[in-house]
Every structure is written in structure tokens, then in C-alpha cells.
Structure 1
Amino acid sequence: MGGGFLAVPALVTVLAFEMQAAVGTGLLVITANSLASLATRSGAAVSLDWAVIGPFVATAVLGAWDGKRLAAKVSGPRLQRVFALVLLAVAAFMLVDAAT
């Protein structure tokens, strides 16, 4: 779980970003963080398993592309409601996982 679930609401409430801009900014920060981590690991003695990394990268790129396309069709308030529902679902899953 990345920090996007905290960054997006903070960008919307504290910095008054529109929802679409907050989601895009959150994804940009996560991407930069991931690239920095990947660059750091690539300099280490441990080799990277591209058979594992590749599908994650491909899925992230396709998800970002589809997300951008869908975000243009969804209003800000509706996107906020969907984000809140997803956040609640993740919180419930984490609570159940921690209890078991």
C-alpha cells in the first residue's frame, strides 16, 4: 500500500486541488518514488528479476493510460465518492487481515 491513499485527500483538502489533478499528482509522486527505488536497487549487487518487475510495470502503464482516459469522463465529485469507497474497502480488508 503506497501513500497515495493519504496524499490524494491531503492534496484535495489542504491544497484545494481538483480531484483529477490530485490523483494525477499522487500517481506522479508514486512513479518518481518507484523509479528512484528501482535506480537504487539496480546499483546494488542483487540483480533485478525483470520477469517479476515487467508485468507490474506494464500493468501500471496500462492502468495510468486507462485511468487518464476514464478520469476525463468522470466528474470530480463522483471520482471523490469512488475514491472514498475504494479507501473504505481497503481499510476494511486491512482490518480483517490484521484480525486474522
Structure 2
Amino acid sequence: MQPLPSHESLVVELRELRRRGLPGLRHCPRDALREAAVAAGLCTGGRDEQSAIEELLAAAVRRLAGGVPVRDDPSCDPLARAAAHSFGILAARRGVPAVDRRKAAAGVYGVST
């Protein structure tokens, strides 16, 4: 089994990904995220690493939601909803500028940015 990436390297890459959003993944450093996707069995063979990283992120957000798909409604776990907004995982948030994704994530908790 390959060693997992360090916490610090994942945090750095996730911060950059949160800033750029999923459409900007190809322009982000992603060595640690790729290593995590490989360790999770999502990035194998000819599989597109960007799709695998996106799948890994979506799985992490689903886990926050208790294993169910994340929806942008009050019945869904607020941490999962905020994370989905932050990274642009919700279909309606994909490609939305970072400032708007942050505002939507803050809005889940009723705070402003």
C-alpha cells in the first residue's frame, strides 16, 4: 500500500481547490489529492485523475451528510451543505466564483462573509 499524503499537503491543495472550484482543478497542484484518490481505489489505470479527485471529494462530502446525497435544503447536514457549496460540488455551484460559493456556504449557518 502506498503511503498516504501528509495532512499539511492535503490542506494546501484543498485550500487552492476551494479557491478555484472544481472547474479549476486542472490548474491546481494535486499530487496529494491524486495520492489520496489512488489510496481510495478511485484513480487506477487510465482513469482520469481529475474525475477521481472529484469523486473523492464528493464521497467525503456525502460522508459528512451521513452517506446520503447532498442537497441544498435544510434537511441535509449543514456541514455537508457548506462543504458542497465551498468546493462547488452542488450542480448549481459548479463554476460559480469563489466569493459567491463562500457566501452560500456561510449562508448555510446564517453568517455573512
- TM-score, with length taken from structure 2: 0.30
Q: Which has the higher helix share?
A: 1
Compare relative contact order (CA 8 Å, sep 6+) and give the higher one, 1 or 2. Answer: 1
Q: Indicate the structure (1 or 2) with the bigger Cα radius of gyration.
A: 1
- TM-score, with length taken from structure 1: 0.33
